[in-house]
Each structure stands twice: as structure tokens, then as C-alpha cells.
């Protein structure tokens, strides 16, 4: 079949088409990005405990962007969470736990907009509007739907529609930049395509959201299976270092992390993924190179090295945990943060959606202002 494609030229045509499409996307980006002020948006689901991989790979970057004076919006995306079955009480608790975690990690509501996605209903309205210009074949090609639907007996429509809501999250704020990992690039490409498609059909409305690629070097691996990344969804809690773990639990998890039968501390991700993952965590937490760490660990075995690393992890995470415990004890403050964040987010989103509604022919502006004011 592959030879047939090559022989009849269709394979080359598809490659050329993709190249032209990507070039058109780049050209559009260049022409559109100067028309809009820089604004950064990202979201995190309130499910599962935030672990060290989430912190190093995403949240730490959020704090750095915030502290550098960027215009940033962070959302706790509870609408995305219910695309898979959730226990209502657990979800509600998870939302407030996530607010406390983000604040404990350094997100500052005076410098960032931090809000709960479902409290700004304009996301769902724009989601519906964007659904009208999206095709089912386009959505079915996205990898996350294929991955998540494999483990679900009856696939919810919301799971299929998930990437459009993700696009609405970004475009409702006319965000120009989105921090993402490599596994989310195709979803952001859908946001870019929908922005371009809407603008071509209804006039210039949305910027072309660009990716801020999260540093893949910061993606750490599971403590129990170092061939896979550390994950909130893994059923084995010993596979990850949760931000809210107590010092004794962190110590136990590091001590029981998988290495190998070689006692020497060396960095060799291909042949020694377990110990290499621990060295990488050490490097990311201290700023030392992997070479420096291996030199310092010369003459000690992996068991003793784990104790050194455990002290470093505890020193980093325990202040975050203590701040988290203080924040979770003050539910009124957490509610205020979310309430103020929703107000600030709405002030940006309302005029943007009014613009969209007018362009597609919805004329009930007065009613809209009454409902969402």
C-alpha cells in the first residue's frame, strides 16, 4: 500500500499539502500576532494530586511567567474534568485543593488571573459556536480522544468535543501564547485552525495562539516504572512524589524507587533509566548538572544516594506542603480568590464574546449583558 501511494504520487501530494498548510499557518501567524497584546493562558484539571512532575514541568513555569510581568490567565478546568466520570464531592474538594496547591507553589492572584472555568459560562457558549465550524473527521484524528476513549465503555460526546472546549478556553480571552507539552501541540493546532477559519469567515476576531513549549527536559519519570512519565492518573501512589506528601512519605517513596543491580551512581538514561531519573530530579531541584551530581556521589552506592536525594526533595516540597495546609484551612480566602478571578476573567471574556455574537448574527446584546453582568 505504501509503495502504491509513492508510485501514484498521492503520498508526495499529501506531504506537499501539509507543507503548504503549515506555511500558510506560519504566514497567518506573522500577520496576526502584531494586532493583539500578548496574553498567556493555560489550564489544569482539578483531578488527582499535583506531583513533582506537574510542578517542574508546568506550574514552576507559570510562576516564572507571572513574576516576569507577563499578562497571564490560569484556569482550573473543571468542565474538562467531567468529560470522564467524576464523583461530585471529590471534584468539589479537588477544585479547592487545586487552588490551594497553585497558591502554595507561588501563583499570586495579584499578578495572575486564577479562576474556576465553569464559573465563566462564556467558555461553553464559544465552545458551541466553534463546534459549528469544526468537522467530526478533524476531531477524530486527535490523539487524546483515541487514548482516553480506549478505557471507556460508552464514550461521552463531551470527550469527543474536549479539544473544541480547549480552543474556546484560549480564544475567549484572545490569548496569544499557550504553554503546552509536546503531547498537547496537536490540540493547540486545532485552536490555531479554528481562529484562522473563524477570521476568514467572519472577519478578524482572534489572534493566532502560539505555543510556549514546556521544556521536555523537565519531564521526569515514574519512580516505579522509569520508562514512563510521572503521572497523576497512575493507580500506584508510590510512582510519584506528590506536592502534599509528608516528609516521611517522600522518604519512603524515594527509598523504594526502582533502580537496578549496579550500585554506582551514573547518569545513563538509555541503559540505567531508574537511577538516571533520580539524578535528573536532583539536577532540576538544585540546578546542578548531572555530571556534577555523579562526581559528588562517587564512592557511594545508590541506596545512600537515595537518602541524599530524599533530603533535597523534602527541603523543596515541605514548605509548599505547609503553605498548602494553611490555605486549605481558610476556605473563605480560597473562595475569594476564585470569585475575584472569575470577575477579572469575565471582564476580558464578555466583550470578546459580544464581538463574536455580533459577527455571526446574534443580535440580543441587551439580554446578553443582563444575563452575564
Q: Given the C-alpha cell 533530603, which residue does it identify?
A: 311
Task: Assess contact for 265 and 297: CB atoms under 8 A.
Answer: yes
Closest of 315, 248, 245 to residue 281, by C-alpha: 315
3-state helix, strand and coil shares in percent for the chain, rounded to the nearest 5? 60, 10, 30
Map residue 267 onto helix, strand or coil.
Answer: coil
Closest of 178, 223, 265 to residue 52, by C-alpha: 223
Q: Is 38 a catalytic residue?
A: no
Of the residues 33, 148, 344, 359, only one is catalytic, namely 148
Closest of 204, 218, 138, 130 to residue 167, by C-alpha: 130
Closest of 186, 184, 250 to residue 49, by C-alpha: 250
The neighbouring-strand residues paired with 43 are: 75
Q: How far is CA 368 from CA 119, 151, 350, 363, 373, in A?
A: 16, 40, 9, 9, 8
Closest of 44, 119, 107 to residue 75, by C-alpha: 44
Task: Assess contact for 95 and 78: CB atoms under 8 A.
Answer: yes
Of the residues 111, 229, 238, 359, only one is catalytic, namely 229
Burial class (CB within 10 angstroms; exposed 0-12, middle 13-18, buried 19+) of 167: buried
Tell me which H or E stretch contains 41.
strand 40-44
Q: How far is Cα 27 from Cα 95, in angstroms, rounded to an integer?
A: 39
Of the residues 197, 232, 344, 359, only one is catalytic, namely 232
Q: Is 229 a catalytic residue?
A: yes
Task: Assess contact for 303 and 272: CB atoms under 8 A.
Answer: no
Q: Is 153 a catalytic residue?
A: no
Q: How far is Cα 280 from Cα 183, in angstroms, rounded to an integer?
A: 21
Residues labelled catalytic: 148, 229, 232
Amino acid at each position: 500500500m505504501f509503495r502504491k501511494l509513492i508510485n501514484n504520487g498521492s503520498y508526495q501530494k499529501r506531504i506537499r499539502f501539509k507543507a503548504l498548510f503549515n506555511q500558510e499557518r506560519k504566514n497567518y501567524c506573522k500577520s496576526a500576532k502584531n494586532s493583539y497584546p500578548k496574553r498567556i493562558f493555560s489550564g489544569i484539571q482539578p483531578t488527582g494530586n499535583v506531583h513533582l512532575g506537574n510542578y517542574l514541568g508546568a506550574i514552576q513555569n507559570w510562576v516564572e511567567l507571572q513574576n516576569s510581568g507577563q499578562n497571564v490567565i490560569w484556569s482550573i478546568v473543571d468542565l474538562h474534568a467531567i468529560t470522564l466520570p467524576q464523583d461530585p464531592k471529590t471534584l468539589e474538594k479537588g477544585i479547592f485543593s487545586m487552588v490551594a496547591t497553585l497558591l502554595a507553589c507561588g501563583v499570586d492572584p495579584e499578578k495572575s488571573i486564577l479562576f474556576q472555568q465553569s464559573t465563566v459560562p462564556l467558555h461553553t457558549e464559544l465552545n458551541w459556536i466553534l463546534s459549528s465550524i469544526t468537522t467530526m473527521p478533524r476531531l477524530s484524528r486527535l490523539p487524546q480522544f483515541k487514548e482516553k476513549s480506549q478505557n471507556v465503555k460508552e464514550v461521552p460526546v463531551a470527550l469527543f468535543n474536549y479539544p473544541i472546549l480547549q480552543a474556546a478556553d484560549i480564544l475567549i480571552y484572545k490569548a496569544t501564547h499557550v504553554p503546552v507539552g509536546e503531547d498537547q501541540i496537536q490540540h493547540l493546532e486545532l485552536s490555531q485552525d479554528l481562529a484562522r477559519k473563524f477570521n476568514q469567515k467572519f472577519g478578524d476576531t482572534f489572534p493566532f495562539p502560539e505555543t510556549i513549549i514546556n521544556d521536555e527536559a523537565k519531564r521526569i519519570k515514574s519512580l516505579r516504572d522509569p520508562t514512563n512519565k510521572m503521572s497523576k492518573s497512575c493507580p500506584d501512589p508510590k510512582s510519584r512524589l506528590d506536592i502534599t506528601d509528608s516528609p516521611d512519605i517522600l522518604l519512603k517513596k524515594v527509598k523504594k524507587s526502582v533502580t537496578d543491580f549496579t550500585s554506582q551512581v551514573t547518569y545513563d538514561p538509555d541503559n540505567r533509566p531508574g537511577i538516571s531519573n533520580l539524578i535528573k530530579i536532583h539536577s532540576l531541584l538544585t540546578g546542578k548538572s548531572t555530571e556534577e551530581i555523579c562526581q559528588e556521589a562517587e564512592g557511594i552506592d545508590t541506596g545512600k544516594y537515595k537518602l541524599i536525594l530524599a533530603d533535597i526533595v523534602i527541603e523543596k516540597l515541605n514548605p509548599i506542603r505547609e503553605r498548602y495546609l494553611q490555605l486549605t484551612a481558610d476556605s473563605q480566602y480560597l473562595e475569594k480568590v476564585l470569585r475575584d478571578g472569575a470577575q477579572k476573567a469575565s471582564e476580558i471574556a464578555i466583550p470578546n464574546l459580544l464581538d463574536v455574537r455580533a459577527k455571526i448574527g446574534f443580535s440580543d446584546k441587551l439580554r446578553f449583558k443582563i444575563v452575564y453582568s
